[in-house]
Amino acid sequence: MIVLGVSETHCATAAILRDGEIVGCASEERFSRLKNDAGYPRRAVDALLRDLRLTPSMIDLVALAGVEAFSRDWMNRVMHDAAYAREYYGVRLDASRRRLGSRARKLGAKLALAHSAPGKVRLSREERLHPVTSHLGVGPDRVATLDHHTCHAAAAYLGSPFAGAPALVLTNDNSGDGLCATASTGRGVALTRHEATPSAPGSLGSFYSFVTLLLGMKPGEHEYKVMGLAPYASAGSPERAAAVLRAVFDFVEGAPCRFAWKQRGPRYGLLLKATLGLRFDGVAGGAQRILEELLVRWARLMRARYGGERLALGGGVFMNVKANMLLASEDWVRDLFVFPSCGDESNAVGAAYLGYMVLCARAGVTPAPKPFGPAYLGPGVDDHETESVIRARDLSARYRVSEHERIEEKIAELLVSDGVVARCAGRMEFGARALGNRSILANPADHRVAHLINRMIKNRDFWMPFAPTVLREREADYLINPKGLASPYMMLTFPTNPKRRDEIVAAVHQHDGTARAHILDEAWNPAYYRVIREFERRTGIGAVLNTSFNLHGEPLVCSAEDAVDTFERSGLPHLAIGRWLISKK
């Protein structure tokens, strides 16, 4: 059975499932080079089919995540048109006078007379299916649409390593099909939803996005910056900010429970008024505290109502790795799985799993979904492609270009001497986290490399920490992980061991000593594992600094062409593509 799962919202993504196993997954942004590109991911679908040697005629079902969908132009406009985004989020001096017009638009939308936001176009089923059917040549009978949060839950539970054991499955995001959160029980291959929280009164995701906007950053993209900034707040300021924010937004127990704005009015204005006079880092700290507090309260309540010692998490709010760390520390949590890159891009995987269940039911076959394994699911780079790019761009005339049979050893040597090497090898990772194949690597013991990477390559905000990849065998040397939780996708943060912290100092948050660690098993990526082993042999350090291979505001590199282009437009000293090494003179 072949299922194509598709998510069409921001960071549109395609996933391919074959006989119960996810064998391919990639986001459209990697091919269009437009960050968080939305709509039907035509290029990603083509790339995956080509890489897996499949044809559209071999697809048994196309599973679309979400019951409703909006136009690509509108979704991209919200993400990339700053003026429109400010209008959409209500950042206007005359916002109070426009409330009546906004209410009229919302009423018109309910009566199907108007759209709730200027330019917001909800697609009809025919409009939504046309790009799919015309591209793949499949009939509408081979296309299914599936509930947004059910897709999140399916990815989290069926993708987990729990092997059908009972688990509490929680989803939490900004909004999808009218909901912002659900609580379900997973058992075997079945998901039973217990309650669902509507997004209209408010959502944790929307609250955090409005704070992101309030702090001058891009909502829907820069929430991770607020999380990174929060620990820098001076003593007492997060508490003061949390107190005023709690008066605006809070958690309401009920059946179902709700996340709700406590005051009426434009939400941006409410936050602006509440935080007037507070330092920006204090506001970030207060918002992070609110999110952590409410998420833990909600999870405890759901566990009290529905039970569960294993926890499977999906939805964009769980991209907040600091909150995940607190959930992991709860006494009642025996095991925890956070689906990798669990924003809407993960719904392509959830839709593929659910589509597989539909096909099995139709065929009278017992489903046997396989857990989500290594995230290296995108197209690969090969030596022929790399050599073609090197020749076409005449790189040897401007750089030192060499070929190495044991490229991993050469990378390790450079990490010891020069500190920074970009690596583009094998299949591309799915999701927002670079896991070694599209990564910039550095010596984690050299505190200077963080400044170097930020100044010459990433152009990131000074407060943003980097992250380490740690060999599984060396985990206890660097991380405090009493439950032995797996972290193959960089979805958890851990306290670090103060006795060995100096060995990974450049990959640790400078203010709270935590690390968003990628714990690497050799079987999941043998070539990347060899790089770190060779580095360890030379230095005694069983970890490297690992950050995504991209320029600030751009998607991760995908192809050899992307890698070379980013190398030439940055201050990167070395680029390893496959077995080729390109170094600036």
- Percent of the chain exceeding pLDDT 70 equals 95
Render pLDDT for 513-562 as a digit per residue (tens, 0 to 9): 999 999 999 999 999 999 999 999 999 999 999 999 999 899 999 999 99
Give residues with Cβ within 8 angstroms of 108, minimum separation 6: 114, 115, 116
CATH classification number, 2-69+123-154+346-373, choose in 3.40.50.2300, 3.30.420.40, 3.40.50.150, 3.60.40.10: 3.30.420.40
Q: What is the pLDDT of residue 201?
A: 95
Give residues with Cβ within 8 angstroms of 58, minimum separation 6: 2
**Top CATH class, 378-584:** alpha beta
Q: List, in sequence order, every residue forming a beta bridge with 168; answer none if it has no partner.
A: 185, 311
How confident is residue 113, by pLDDT bands cut at 50, 70 and 90?
Answer: very low
* Residue range 370-375: mean pLDDT, rounded: 98
Q: List, in sequence order, every residue forming a beta bridge with 311; answer none if it has no partner.
A: 168, 336
Render pLDDT for 389-421 as a digit per residue (tens, 0 to 9): 999 999 999 999 999 999 999 999 999 998 899
Render pLDDT for 43-70 as a digit per residue (tens, 0 to 9): 999 999 999 999 999 999 999 999 999 9
Q: Are 241 and 275 contacting, i.e. CB atoms less than 8 angstroms apart?
A: yes
* Residue range 501-506: mean pLDDT, rounded: 97
Domain chopping of the chain, boundaries? 2-69+123-154+346-373, 161-338, 378-584
Q: Are 415 and 544 contacting, i.e. CB atoms less than 8 angstroms apart?
A: yes
Q: What is the pLDDT of residue 458?
A: 78
- Select the more confidently predicted residue: 459 or 148: 148
Per-chain mean pLDDT for the chain:
94
If DSSP codes are grouped into helix, strand and coil, which group holds residue 441? strand
Q: What is the pLDDT of residue 459?
A: 79
Helix (H) or strand (E) holding 4: strand 2-7
Q: What is the pLDDT of residue 115?
A: 42
DSSP string of 238-296, one letter each residue:
HHHHHHHHHTTEEEE-SSS-EEEESS-S-HHHHHHHHTTT--HHHHHHHHHHHHHHHHH
Q: What is the pLDDT of residue 317?
A: 98
pLDDT over 90 (residue 77) = yes
DSSP state of 314: E
Q: What is the pLDDT of residue 101?
A: 47
Render pLDDT for 211-228 as a digit per residue (tens, 0 to 9): 999 999 999 999 999 999
Q: Are 129 and 160 contacting, i.e. CB atoms less than 8 angstroms apart?
A: no
Render pLDDT for 102-112 as a digit per residue (tens, 0 to 9): 544 444 444 34
Q: Are 42 and 26 contacting, i.e. CB atoms less than 8 angstroms apart?
A: no
What interhelical angle do 237-246 and 267-274 show, nearest 10?
140
Give residues with Cβ within 8 angstroms of 472, minimum separation 6: 519, 520, 521, 522
DSSP state of 17: E
- Select the more confidently predicted residue: 102 or 563: 563
Q: What is the pLDDT of residue 370?
A: 98
Q: Are 341 and 310 contacting, i.e. CB atoms less than 8 angstroms apart?
A: no
pLDDT over 60 (residue 120) = yes
**Top CATH class, 161-338:** alpha beta
Count of beta carbons in the 10 Å neighbourhood of residue 430: 28
Residue that is written with structure tokens 């995230």 in the block: 375
- Select the more confidently predicted residue: 459 or 383: 383
Let me know if the fold of 2-69+123-154+346-373 is the same as that of 161-338: yes
Give the Cα separation of 208 and 441 in Å (integer). 31
Give the Cα separation of 12 and 374 in Å (integer). 20
Cα 227 to the chain's mean position, in Å?
A: 14
Render pLDDT for 158-199 as a digit per residue (tens, 0 to 9): 999 999 999 999 999 999 999 999 999 999 999 999 999 999
Q: What is the pLDDT of residue 117?
A: 61
Q: Are 311 and 299 contacting, i.e. CB atoms less than 8 angstroms apart?
A: yes
